[in-house]
């Protein structure tokens, strides 16, 4: 698999998912720089025991960052869950939702955790105002990530690029903070994120499978497509 780093891209590629087999396979690929997951992906994968799944992942993934998310909604409970998750490994980042389910900011949670040296990945961020808010409470001595959900921003008809660019600018003074282009919708997003200097992009297996198509000859791609249509029509036994 040709991946962005092997194609001289600067952006780091994190695999996003909750399939243990896929994670362990991708861990052996030097172009995959880290891993992220979330409760929704874990539920879809049929994960029943959160800590057991994390333990299995971290037994094999020891030198690449892995993000696991809290699922509490109360401030204190969120902090306690985060402390427990952080204790699972030195390469663990704790995903903290930007907001509580009530719409209130988790700024206080992030401030408390990073003051204790816990690495966080602030997730589901969609506005630069929110990025600016969190930039004020992140500990500049502790590694952190801010995940801009660019794909979901695009789902609203907005161009996410200016938002990601401004987020990078806001966090530039914090040497330990990295911006993640999260929830990409297509392979083009990898190119876009790299071109604006985004630090990291997450990618699900659907996007990772298309990585080999970067720079693929378009005439060849056209022929591949025509041949696919022809073969599918033939295999279906269609008649006119």
Residues 6+ apart with CB under 8 A from 220: none
For residues 148 and 146, give the distance between their C-alpha atoms in angstroms, rounded to a whole number.
6
Among 64, 95, 136, 176, the active-site one is: 95
Query: Which of 125, 198, 72 has the alpha carbon at shortest distance from 135?
Result: 125
Residue 119 is a catalytic residue: no
Residue 148 near residue 126 (C-beta atoms within 8 A): yes
Side-chain-side CA neighbours of 179 within 13 Å: the count stands at 30
Query: Which of 129, 131, 90 has the alpha carbon at shortest distance from 110?
Result: 131
Query: Which of 37, 36, 33 has the alpha carbon at shortest distance from 11?
Result: 33
For residues 65 and 50, give the distance between their C-alpha atoms in angstroms, rounded to a whole number.
18
Q: Which two tokens stand for residue 1?
A: 């698999």
Enumerate the active-site residues. 95
């Amino acid at each position: 698999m040709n991946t962005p780093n092997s194609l001289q891209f600067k952006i780091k590629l994190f695999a996003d998912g909750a399939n243990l087999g896929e994670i362990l396979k991708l861990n052996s690929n030097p172009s995959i720089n880290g891993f992220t997951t979330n409760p929704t992906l874990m539920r879809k994968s049929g994960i029943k025991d959160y800590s057991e799944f994390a333990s299995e992942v971290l037994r094999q993934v020891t030198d690449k960052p892995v993000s696991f998310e809290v699922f509490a909604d109360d401030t204190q409970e969120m902090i306690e869950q985060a402390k427990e998750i952080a204790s699972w490994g030195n390469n663990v980042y704790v995903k903290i939702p930007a907001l509580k389910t009530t719409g209130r900011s988790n700024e206080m949670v992030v401030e408390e955790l990073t003051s204790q040296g816990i690495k966080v990945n602030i997730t589901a961020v969609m506005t630069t105002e929110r990025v600016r808010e969190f930039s004020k409470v992140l500990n500049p001595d502790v590694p952190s990530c801010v995940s801009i959900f660019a794909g979901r921003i695009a789902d609203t008809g907005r161009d996410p690029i200016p938002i990601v660019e401004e987020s990078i600018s806001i966090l530039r003074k914090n040497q330990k903070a990295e911006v993640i282009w999260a929830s990409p919708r297509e392979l083009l997003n990898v190119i876009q994120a790299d071109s604006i200097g985004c630090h990291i992009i997450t990618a699900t297996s659907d996007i990772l499978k298309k990585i080999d198509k970067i720079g693929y000859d378009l005439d060849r791609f056209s022929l591949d497509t025509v041949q696919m249509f022809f073969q599918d029509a033939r295999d279906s036994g269609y008649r006119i």
